[in-house]
Amino acid sequence: MSACPGPEDVTGVAHGVLASVGCNSHRLALDAYAALTGPGSFLPAALTTCLTIYVALLGYGLLTGSPRLRLAQVSQTGLKIGAVVALTLNWSIFQTLVFNVASEAPFEVGHIFTLAAAAGGGDQAGDDPLTRLEAIHQELTDSAHSLIQPNVPTGGAPATVTAAGAGPQPPAAEALLWMATTLIVGSVGLIALAMVAQAILVALGPAFMLFFLFDATRGLFVGWVRALAAAVIAPVTTWGGLMVCLATLEPWVARLARERAAHAIKVDTISTLVTFVVTFAAAQAVLAIGAVVITSAFSLRRAPAAREGDTVSTANTQQQIIDARFSQSRAQLLAQSLHSEHSQSLTQEGRRLEVFGVAAASAAPGALAAPAAPRLSDTYRRPSPGGLS
């Protein structure tokens, strides 16, 4: 692999920073993956050990009939093991699914933002955003140099800055220099920081793949995915904020250039630019925090584990009921049966009386209030066996 570009190989601050940081980050990820998956690394042995333990625990659970394991989960387990082995020991698959997505996806989305800005119109909307950012940075720097040394031409600005660095500088020049630095740090600096985070997380990816096998360590894998997703989303939000910043600052920077050419830079112009730059820096920080908040919502569902827990509790309850039934004696079971039959008969008799009373009341509403007439058989008395009345 060729060496990464140096300061003399790339023109412009933004292009130079991203080119150098991107090249070194990619080399770090490649070298780290090769070192982790190489013959002398601990990762292949650790992977073999973890897979052996995982398969042994799975087989033991199936042999003992554990309610936490189901036959339908065997296929899912096979896919899980295959995915871990493929991503851990196969660089082509890991590069396609992880490395390329993390490194190229933010710039692809940024390219879409650039095309959208070009479709919206504007004199410089179709240009490279980094080139536009460097033009703004250069204008702010030249305006600051013109305030420090008014008689020095623009071409001698770097030497003037070195010579005037020991003495006091005007507050307006310091504000312009601060804005130039803040623009680079708030845009290119955040993107470069995300690229470094992506490289380190991708380099550690094969090690975190092992944590996906076991439930106790799956949280570490989820945390790694969250961090990598935040490192991917942060450059996208930063690029979008940069497009808005460029569209806002370019008219005011053009005004600053005209004032510098006329040797009459106004304080109002500098104050407005400072306000825009401070707002831009705060917005970029909020967007970076928002990327972390968005990715923190990612989690692996544990619904199957909950269902397994319900199955275990149901099985334990049924076993307790069976044990309680066998622990009772025959006398107790007979008493319970008679008591239940007696309760059922009383309930049925009560329902019959209630139905009969309702029917009688509906048939003769006044019969309940009037006394019943005597019947002929009421005065009959059967004689006793001994002749006694």
Decide which of 262 and 373 is more confident. 262
pLDDT at residue 152 above 80? no
pLDDT at 275: 93
Cβ density class 207-221: b for 16+ within 10 Å, e for less: bbbbbbbeeeeeeeb
**Calpha distance 173→267 (Å, rounded):** 11
From the number of C-beta atoms within 10 Å of its C-beta (0-12, 13-18, 19+), residue 138 rates as middle
- Of 12, 16, 8, 232, give the one whose Cα is nearest residue 131: 12
pLDDT at residue 283 above 90? yes
pLDDT at 35: 84
**Calpha distance 237→71 (Å, rounded):** 45
What 8-state DSSP symbol labels residue 363? H
pLDDT at 331: 61
Mean residue pLDDT across the chain: 76
**Calpha distance 249→267 (Å, rounded):** 16
243 within 8 A of 133, measured Cβ to Cβ: no
Confidence of residue 309 (pLDDT cuts 50, 70, 90): very low
Q: What is the dihedral of CA 34, 35, 38, 39, to 10 degrees?
A: 160
Directed axis angle between helix 190-203 and helix 13-36, to 10°?
10
* Residue 382 identity: R
pLDDT at 264: 85
Rounded average pLDDT over 120-145 = 80
Rounded average pLDDT over 76-91 = 82
Rounded average pLDDT over 255-269 = 89
Rounded average pLDDT over 206-224 = 86
pLDDT at 233: 92
DSSP of 209-240? HGGGSSTTTHHHHHHHHHHHHHHHHHHHHHHH
**Calpha distance 346→348 (Å, rounded):** 5
pLDDT at residue 342 above 70? no
3-state secondary structure 147-178: HHCCCCCHHHHHHHHHHHCCCCCCHHHHHHHH
199 within 8 A of 96, measured Cβ to Cβ: no
pLDDT at residue 334 above 70? no
pLDDT at 151: 59
Token pair, residue 23, equals 């090249």
Compute the chain's Rg from CA coordinates.
Answer: 42
Residue in the structure block whose two tokens are 């001698």 = 156
Ramachandran angles phi, psi of 112, nearest 5°: -65, -40
Token pair, residue 169, equals 């500088």
Residue in the structure block whose two tokens are 């240009």 = 127
Token pair, residue 383, equals 């004689």
- Of 45, 46, 44, 66, give the one whose Cα is nearest residue 57: 66
Share of the chain above pLDDT 90, in %: 21
pLDDT at residue 242 above 70? yes
54 within 8 A of 227, measured Cβ to Cβ: no
Question: Which of 271-275, 285-289, 295-299 is least confident?
Answer: 295-299
Residue in the structure block whose two tokens are 């096979």 = 78
Question: Which of 223-227, 247-251, 326-330 is least confident?
Answer: 326-330
DSSP of 286-325? HHHHHHHHHHTT-----HHHHHHHHHHHHHHHHHHHHHHH
Rounded average pLDDT over 2-20 = 80
Question: Which of 227-231, 331-335, 358-362 is least confident?
Answer: 358-362
201 within 8 A of 224, measured Cβ to Cβ: yes
pLDDT at 367: 46
Cβ-proximal residues to 31 (8 Å cutoff; 6+ apart), any chain: none
Token pair, residue 241, equals 């904020």
pLDDT at 100: 87
Confidence of residue 318 (pLDDT cuts 50, 70, 90): low
Cβ-proximal residues to 338 (8 Å cutoff; 6+ apart), any chain: none
**Calpha distance 231→194 (Å, rounded):** 5
Decide which of 267 and 334 is more confident. 267
* Residue 167 identity: G
What 8-state DSSP symbol labels residue 295? H
pLDDT at residue 163 above 50? no
Task: Render pLDDT for 85-124 as a digit per residue (tens, 0 to 9).
Answer: 888 878 888 888 888 888 888 888 888 877 777 766 555 5
pLDDT at residue 243 above 70? yes
Rounded average pLDDT over 179-199 = 92
pLDDT at residue 305 above 50? no
Distances (CA, A) of 181 to 146, 188, 253: 17, 10, 15
Decide which of 30 and 347 is more confident. 30
pLDDT at 258: 92
Rounded average pLDDT over 32-37 = 82
pLDDT at residue 127 above 80? no
